């Protein structure tokens, strides 16, 4: 009898256990994230926030830059409004945890596309199309007389921790059999402060980042980029692996920006192009791309005119590039590898069909 009553006491606990077990089970829905963004009415986007040209907070609190515009384009495509983005400033070691925990929907923070980050057995991330083809470089003060990587043998080099740059630097220095002292800092601000204070004779990072940071130095002309490119750094927006539907929506929004440039569709002429597509039933390609006919939007779970919304918000890829990091900006970076494939670059959108 006593034993039975003890069991009766345990029963509610077992029921509670079963309930709790069920409650934690989610998943199954194809694009939980996309639905989440829509029902929230706001995209949570992780950016750097301190990198002129890519993502930078101005004194009035507004964000600008290439990475920021990618967030805006995705917000425009999914929600029809580029201003419905909430930015989160993340440092390089926080970023993946923020993405994995669902604190952000999209990470657009000059993140290099690598095998270990993509693989399910690694970070398990899902990479969108690369928005900036970069390479790691080294910057040194002009006065130091350093002309190549070899001149850095035995010298301290500043590195930001939590990036692939540490590994690349170690690999290249080992190749040329040069010893060096890596000085690791947690944030970019600390890294460049130590460099400017003269603690290290050189600082290494992505070449675009070095060029961007240099614009905020007291004497930008006093620092030179070494000719060596230490690595390939395709900087790419990232989503979580577990939600292919959401990854597709982000992917094709970005391809939309690239395809728009290829088709000569700009922020200025987009309305005219839409009118043209509507008036000409025989321009099937254009009509499908702009969502006048077909169901591309629906297949992705997006509005039919998602490309139109994205281009209206930020312009096509070329406009985005020139405005933020190209000739229209302080950075004045060449398009280089980031030209359209038709101009000999690597920007190539698969067909919209």
Partner 1 sequence: MPSPAVTPWWRNRRLIPWLVQGVAGLVVLVVVAFLVGNLVRNLTNAGLLLSWSWLGNPAGFDVSETLLPFNAELPYWRALLAGLVNTLRVVVAGLVGATVLGTLIGVAAFSSNGLLRRLARVYVELIRNIPLLLQLVFWYFVVFLSLPGGEQAIQLPGVVLAKSGLFLGKPELIDGVWHGQLRLTVEFGALLTGLVVYTAAFIAEVVRGGVASVPPGQWEASRSLGLTPLQTLQRIVLPQALRVIVPGLNSQYISLAKNSSLAVACGYTDLYSVAETTLNQTGRAVEVVLILLGSYLVIDLLISALMNGVNSWVQIKER
Q: Is 16 in the site for partner 1 (CB under 8 A)?
A: yes
Does 57 contact partner 1 by CB under 8 A?
no
Give the interface segment with partner 1, choosing from 135-143, 186-194, 272-280, 339-347 (CB under 8 A). Answer: 186-194
Please tell me whether residue 232 binds partner 1 under the rule CB under 8 A. no
The least distance separating partner 1 from the CB of residue 163, rounded to whole angstroms, comes to 7
Q: Is 154 in the site for partner 1 (CB under 8 A)?
A: yes
**CB nearer to partner 1: pick between 16 and 275:** 16
In 3-state terms the chain splits into helix, strand, coil percentages (rounded to 5) of 45, 15, 40
Least Cβ distance, residue 53 to partner 1 (angstroms):
23
- Nearer Cβ to partner 1 (118/276): 118
* 12 Cβ neighbours under 8 A, 6+ residues apart: none
- Residue 93 touching partner 1 (CB under 8 A): yes
Kindly state whether residue 161 participates in binding partner 1, applying the rule CB under 8 A. Answer: yes
The minimum distance between CB 206 and partner 1, in angstroms, equals 15
Q: How buried is residue 57: exposed, middle or buried, by Cβ count under 10 Å (0-12/13-18/19+)?
A: middle
Q: Which residue has tokens 């970069």?
A: 134
Site string for partner 1, 108-147 (x = CB under 8 A): --------xx--xxxxx-----------------------
- Give the whole-angstrom CA distance, residue 31 versus residue 251: 14
**DSSP per-residue string spanning 54-92:** TEEE-TTS-EESHHHHHHHHHHHHHHS-TT-EEEEE--T
Q: Which region among 76-84, 196-204, 263-271, 309-317 touches partner 1 (by CB under 8 A)?
A: 196-204
Alpha carbon distance 137, 130 (integer Å): 19
| Ordered alpha helix ranges (H), the chain | 2-23, 32-40, 66-79, 95-100, 115-118, 165-175, 188-196, 207-214, 244-262, 270-279, 284-289, 296-300, 306-314, 317-324
184, 312, 330, 339: residue in contact with partner 1 (rule CB under 8 A): 184
Instruction: Give the sheet arrangement for strand 238-240, strand by strand.
Output: 85-89, 43-47, 106-107, 238-240, 125-127
Does residue 228 contact residue 168 with C-beta atoms inside 8 Å? no
Shorter beta-carbon distance to partner 1: residue 121 or 351: 121
Quick one: which of 6, 8, 39, 58 contacts partner 1 (CB under 8 A)? 6
**Contact residues for partner 1, defined by CB under 8 A:** 2, 5-6, 9-10, 13, 16-17, 20-21, 24-25, 27, 92-93, 96-97, 100, 116-117, 120-124, 154-156, 161-164, 166-167, 170-171, 174, 180-186, 190, 193-194, 197-199, 201, 240-242
């Amino acid at each position: 009898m006593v034993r039975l009553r003890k069991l009766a006491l345990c029963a509610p606990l077992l029921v509670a256990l079963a309930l709790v077990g069920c409650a934690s089970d989610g998943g199954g829905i194809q694009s939980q994230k996309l639905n989440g963004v829509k029902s929230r009415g706001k995209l949570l986007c992780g950016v750097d926030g301190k990198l002129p040209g890519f993502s930078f907070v101005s004194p009035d609190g507004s964000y600008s830059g290439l990475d920021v515009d990618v967030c805006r384009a995705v917000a425009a495509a999914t929600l029809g409004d580029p201003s419905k983005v909430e930015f989160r400033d993340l440092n390089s070691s926080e970023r993946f945890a923020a993405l994995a925990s669902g604190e952000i929907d999209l990470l657009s923070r000059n993140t290099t596309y690598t095998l270990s980050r993509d693989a399910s057995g690694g970070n398990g991330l899902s990479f969108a199309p690369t928005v900036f083809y970069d390479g790691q470089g080294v910057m040194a003060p002009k006065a130091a007389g350093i002309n190549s990587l070899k001149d850095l043998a035995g010298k301290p080099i500043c590195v930001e921790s939590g990036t692939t740059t540490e590994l690349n630097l170690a690999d290249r220095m080992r190749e040329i059999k040069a010893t060096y002292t890596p000085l690791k800092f947690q944030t970019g601000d600390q890294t460049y402060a130590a460099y400017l204070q003269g603690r290290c004779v050189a600082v290494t990072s992505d070449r675009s980042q070095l060029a961007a940071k240099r614009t905020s130095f007291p004497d930008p002309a006093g620092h030179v980029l070494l000719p060596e490119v230490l690595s390939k750094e395709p900087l790419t927006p990232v989503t979580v692996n577990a939600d292919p539907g959401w990854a597709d929506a982000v992917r094709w929004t970005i391809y939309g920006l690239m395809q728009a440039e290829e088709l000569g569709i700009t922020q200025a002429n987009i309305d005219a192009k839409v009118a043209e597509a509507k008036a000409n039933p025989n321009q099937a390609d254009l009509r499908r791309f702009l969502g006048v006919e077909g169901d591309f939007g629906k297949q992705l779970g997006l509005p039919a005119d998602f490309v139109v919304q994205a281009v209206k918000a930020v312009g096509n890829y070329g406009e985005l590039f020139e405005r933020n990091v190209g000739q229209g900006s302080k950075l004045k970076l060449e398009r280089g590898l980031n030209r359209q494939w038709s101009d000999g670059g690597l920007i190539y959108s698969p067909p919209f069909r």
